[in-house]
Amino acid sequence: METSVTDWLPRQGGQPKMLVVDDQAVNIRLIYDLFKDDCDLFMARDGAKALEQARAIIPDLILLDVMLPDINGYEICEILKRDPATEHVPIIFITANVTEEDEATGFNMGAVDFIRKPINPVITRARVRTHLLLKKQAQALERVALTDALTGLANRRAFEQEYEQAWRQCARENWSIGMVLIDIDFFKRYNDRYGHQGGDDCLRLVAKAMAQVLQRPGDVLARYGGEEFACVLSNTDLQGACHIGELFRQAVESLGLPHLDSTVAKYVTLSVGIASIVPSSDTDEEGRQLLISAADKRLYQAKERGRNQVCS
Ligand code: GH3
Ligand code: MG
Ligand code: MG
Ligand code: MG
Here the CATH number for the domain that contains residue 213 is: 3.30.70.270
65 CB under 6 A from ligand 1? no
In-domain check, residue 171: yes
pLDDT of residue 98: 80
Q: What domain range is 28 assigned to? A: 5-144
Q: Residue 234 forms beta bridges with which residues? A: 177
In-domain check, residue 151: no
69-74 long-range contacts (CB < 8 A, ≥24 apart) are: 69/23, 69/45, 70/46, 71/46, 71/47, 72/47, 73/21, 73/47, 73/106, 74/105, 74/106, 74/109
> Which atom of ligand 1 is found nearest the CA of 189?
7
> Which atom of ligand 1 is found nearest the CA of 190?
7
Contacts of 22 (CB under 8 A, 6+ apart): 28, 31, 45, 63, 65, 68, 94
Last residue in a domain, options 122, 144, 166 = 144
Q: Are residues 90 and 216 in the same domain?
A: no
Q: Are residues 94 and 12 in the same domain?
A: yes
| Dist CA 59 CA 16 (whole Å) | 8
| Dist CA 129 CA 134 (whole Å) | 9
16 CB under 6 A from ligand 1? no
Residues 311/272, Cβ–Cβ less than 8 Å: yes
Q: Are residues 227 and 107 in the same domain?
A: no
In-domain check, residue 149: no
Domain of residue 86, CATH code: 3.40.50.2300
Inter-axis angle of helices 100-108 and 73-82, nearest 10: 20
Instruction: Let me know if 227 is a catalytic residue.
Output: yes
In-domain check, residue 181: yes
Q: Are residues 11 and 116 in the same domain?
A: yes
| Nearest by Cα to 71 from 83, 63, 79 | 79
Q: Are residues 181 and 125 in the same domain?
A: no
Distance 182 CA to ligand 4 centre (A): 9
> How far apart are the two ends of the chain, measured CA to CA in Å?
31
pLDDT of residue 6: 65
In-domain check, residue 55: yes
pLDDT of residue 311: 98
Q: Are residues 213 and 134 in the same domain?
A: no
In-domain check, residue 38: yes
Q: Are residues 135 and 189 in the same domain?
A: no
Instruction: State the average pLDDT for the chain.
Output: 94
Which residue has the least CA distance to atom 29 on ligand 1? 199
139 CB under 6 A from ligand 1? no
pLDDT of residue 110: 92
In-domain check, residue 161: yes
How does 250-283 read in b/e, with b if 16+ C-beta sit within 10 Å?
A: ebbbeeebebeebeeeebbbbbbbbbbbebeeee
Distance 269 CA to ligand 4 centre (A): 10
> Which atom of ligand 1 is found nearest the CA of 199?
29
Q: Are residues 161 and 135 in the same domain?
A: no
> Which atom of ligand 1 is found nearest the CA of 150?
26
Q: Encode pLDDT of 183-200 as tens digits.
A: 999 999 999 999 999 999
pLDDT of residue 179: 98
In-domain check, residue 294: yes
Distance 265 CA to ligand 2 centre (A): 71
Least confident of 180-184, 187-191, 281-285: 281-285
Last residue in a domain, options 112, 144, 176 = 144
Q: Are residues 173 and 306 in the same domain?
A: yes
CA distance to 2, 32, 46, 61, 63, per residue, from 28 (Å):
40, 6, 12, 15, 10
Candidate from 155, 186, 188, 193 with most ligand 1 atoms within 8 A of CB, to mutate: 188
Provide mean pLDDT across the span 49-58: 96
Q: Are residues 175 and 306 in the same domain?
A: yes
Q: Are residues 122 and 198 in the same domain?
A: no
Helices then strands, each counted (H, E), the chain: 9, 10
| Dist CA 261 CA 190 (whole Å) | 7
Distance 110 CA to ligand 2 centre (A): 20
Active-site residue identified among 227, 253, 286, 304: 227
Instruction: State the ipTM, two decimals.
Output: 0.96
Which residue has the least CA distance to atom 11 on ligand 1? 188
Residue type present at position 67:
M
Q: 5 pLDDT exceeds 90?
A: no
190 CB under 6 A from ligand 1? no
Distance 146 CA to ligand 4 centre (A): 23
pLDDT of residue 35: 94
Residues 49/70, Cβ–Cβ less than 8 Å: no
Number of domains in the chain: 2
Last residue in a domain, options 94, 124, 144 = 144
Q: Are residues 236 and 124 in the same domain?
A: no
Q: Encode pLDDT of 55-106 as tens digits.
A: 999 999 999 999 999 999 999 999 999 999 999 999 999 988 788 998 899 9
Residues 151/184, Cβ–Cβ less than 8 Å: no
